[in-house]
Amino acid sequence: MSMLFAYSLFNMIADATYFALAAVALWGLYCIVVVWNRVAQKRFKTEEQQDQFMDDVEQMLTAGDFEGTLDYCQGDTRAVPQMIELAVSNRELGYKRSRKLMMDRFQRDVMSDLEYRLSWVSTVIKSAPMIGLFGTVFGMMGAFKTLATAETVEPSALAGDIQVALVTTASGLAIAIPLMILVANVNIRIAKMEDLVGSGLGRFFDAYKAGLARTGGQ
């Protein structure tokens, strides 16, 4: 009876380890997909598309056509149009304050969200091998217990314990390594997005300041 209970407990803990590995793998993959889609949503696909967009915005701003600029940016979910719309709609605050408001909103709504998601992926990368190591230690404990309690041990009696030890270790590494590669790729995409956004905003600030001066703003 006690052997049966010990066997059932071993299976329960082994299954819980597999479940924990599957859960962290799915959560890490979900966060990566969210970040990937978020970056794709917030950036222009190419620099040429952004340049064409900024040419139109610059023309309207330098002419003092703020309402036309708002209409042009309205409904666009990409970061540059959204920030331009925010700054222009708050132009009564003046150049410096509306610029600060825009940059704070970008940092809070876009970059902080990406960093939050990536921090979860980093946690998964660190925890998956640790969960695998737990399974390894647990499996070896089961194997040594089998050796200690049996007068003669068949290799098949140790197979289950050793399998848990090896599979959990391999699973933890199989989760962490691809996620590390994906995070590196996503970080490159984020850096490219920041460069593209910075380039667009540099052009916007010059035109925005000229437009405010033209209409008597500050």
- Asked whether residue 34 is domain-assigned, the answer is yes
**pLDDT for 167:** 86
pTM of the model: 0.79
Give which of 16, 23, 15 is closest to 124, Cα–Cα: 23
- Asked whether residue 166 is domain-assigned, the answer is yes
Residues with Cβ within 8 Å of residue 150, at least 6 apart in sequence:
157
Residue 128 contacts residue 21 (beta carbons within 8 Å):
yes
- Asked whether residue 217 is domain-assigned, the answer is no
Residue 91 contacts residue 217 (beta carbons within 8 Å):
yes
- Asked whether residue 218 is domain-assigned, the answer is no
How would you write the pLDDT of the chain (218 residues) with one tens digit per residue?
444 444 567 678 778 888 999 999 999 999 999 999 999 999 998 889 999 999 999 999 888 889 999 999 998 989 999 999 999 998 888 888 988 988 898 888 888 889 999 999 999 999 999 998 888 887 787 777 766 666 666 666 666 667 777 888 899 999 999 999 999 999 999 999 999 998 998 889 988 888 888 776 55
Name the residue range of residue 60's domain: 2-212
- Asked whether residue 196 is domain-assigned, the answer is yes
**pLDDT for 1:** 45
**pLDDT for 25:** 94
**pLDDT for 150:** 61
**pLDDT for 2:** 46
- Asked whether residue 144 is domain-assigned, the answer is yes
Place of tokens 């599957």: 22
Q: Where are any strands of DSSP class E within the chain? A: none
Give the separation between CA 175 and CA 173, rounded to whole angstroms: 5
**pLDDT for 136:** 85
- Asked whether residue 14 is domain-assigned, the answer is yes
- Number of domains the chain contains: 1
Backbone torsions φ then ψ of 186, nearest 5 degrees: -65, -40
**pLDDT for 184:** 94
3-state secondary structure of 5: helix
